[in-house]
Amino acid sequence: MKKLCTAFILCAFAGLSASAQNDWAVPGATLRVDVRVQRVPDHKDLGVFVKIPDGGLLPGKYPVPDVRDAQGKPLEHLIVGYLQSDGLGVLFAQPESGETAQIYITGSASPPPKPANPRLKPSVLLYTKNGNASLETAKRMATEYPPAQGAAFNTWECIGSMVNPFGPDDDFSSWYVGCILLTKPEKIYFATVSDEGSEFSIDGKMIASWPGIHTREGGTKGQHGAYADLEAGLHRIDYYHFEVRGAQEAQLTWRRKDITEGPVPVLISGSDYAKSGSAAISKIAFKDGRVGGAIRGTSEPNGYFWISQQPLTLFTLSYSGVQPTDNSLSVTWEFGKNKRINEPLVEWLVPGDADAISFPVTLAVSNSAGVARTSARLSCPWTPTELSLDNPGDRMNFRKALYNMIRAVPKSADPCADWVADYWAILIELLEPYRAGPILSEIFTRSFETVQKIPPEQRWALEDRFIETLRLQRNDKLLLDWITKFETNDKNSARKFRWKDERVCADLFDVNDVAAAKRDVAFLKETAIAPDQTQIAALRQGDVERALGNVDAATKFYKDAEERYRSRNKLGMTGGRLAYVGPRKRKDKEAEGTNAVNKAAAKRPKLQTLTSQKKADDWKVYTVHDTSMFATITSFLTQDAVPEAFQKLNDWENESPQSKLSGEFPLAEAKIYAHVEDYRRAINALDAYRKIVTMSAQLADAMKLEIDCLQKISDKKRMREVAEDFLKRFPGHPFEAEMKEVLAP
pLDDT in tens, 440-475: 999 999 999 999 999 999 999 999 999 999 999 999
Does a structural domain hold residue 246?
yes
User: Which residue from 60, 88, 95, 56 is spatially nearest to 74, judged by alpha carbons?
Assistant: 95
How far is the C-alpha of 126 from the C-alpha of 89, rounded, in Å? 12
Does a structural domain hold residue 101?
no
Does a structural domain hold residue 548?
no
Region 708-726: mean pLDDT is: 95
Check residue 469 and give its pLDDT: 95
Strands 330-334 and 340-341: antiparallel
Does a structural domain hold residue 474?
no
User: Going along 591-671, which residue ranges are E strands?
Assistant: 606-608
Check residue 601 and give its pLDDT: 35
User: Which residue from 551, 550, 522 is spatially nearest to 538, judged by alpha carbons?
Assistant: 522
Instruction: Tell me which residue range forms the domain holding 212.
Output: 123-275
Between the alpha carbon of residue 306 and those of residues 122, 351, 458, the distances in Å are 40, 10, 17
Q: What is the number of structural domains in the chain?
A: 2
Residue 512, class by beta-carbon neighbours within 10 Å (0-12 exposed, 13-18 middle, 19+ buried)? middle
How far is the C-alpha of 444 from the C-alpha of 459, rounded, in Å? 10
Give the pLDDT confidence of 191-240 residue by residue, as tens digits. 999 999 999 999 999 999 999 999 999 999 999 999 999 999 999 999 99
Does a structural domain hold residue 129?
yes
Give the pLDDT confidence of 609-665 residue by residue, as tens digits. 333 333 445 556 667 888 999 999 999 999 999 999 999 999 999 999 999 998 899
How far is the C-alpha of 452 from the C-alpha of 492, rounded, in Å? 13
Between the alpha carbon of residue 454 and those of residues 116, 386, 457, 461, the distances in Å are 65, 26, 8, 11
Cα maximum dimension of the chain: 120
User: Which residue from 12, 10, 27, 732 is spatially nearest to 365, judged by alpha carbons?
Assistant: 12
Supply angle C-alpha 478, 479, 482, rounded to 5.
85
List the CATH number of the domain containing 631. 1.25.40.10
* 328: confidence class by pLDDT, cuts 50, 70, 90: confident
Residue type, 467: I
How far is the C-alpha of 158 from the C-alpha of 468, rounded, in Å? 55
Give the pLDDT confidence of 55-80 residue by residue, as tens digits. 999 999 999 999 999 999 999 999 99
Q: Which of 260, 275, 290 is the last residue of a domain?
A: 275
Rg of the chain over CA atoms, in angstroms? 37
Q: DSSP label at 571?
A: B
Q: Which of 248, 275, 302 is the last residue of a domain?
A: 275
Does a structural domain hold residue 76?
no
Does a structural domain hold residue 480?
no
Does a structural domain hold residue 443?
no
Between the alpha carbon of residue 715 and those of residues 215, 248, 482, 675, 680, the distances in Å are 77, 70, 26, 18, 11
List the CATH number of the domain containing 217. 3.90.182.10
HEC profile for 173-217?
EEEEEEEEEECCCEEEEEEEEEECCEEEEECCEEEEEECCCCCHH
The larger pLDDT score, comparing residue 1 to residue 45, is at 45
Q: Which of 251, 275, 299 is the last residue of a domain?
A: 275
Signed CA dihedral, 379, 384, 388, 394: sign only: negative
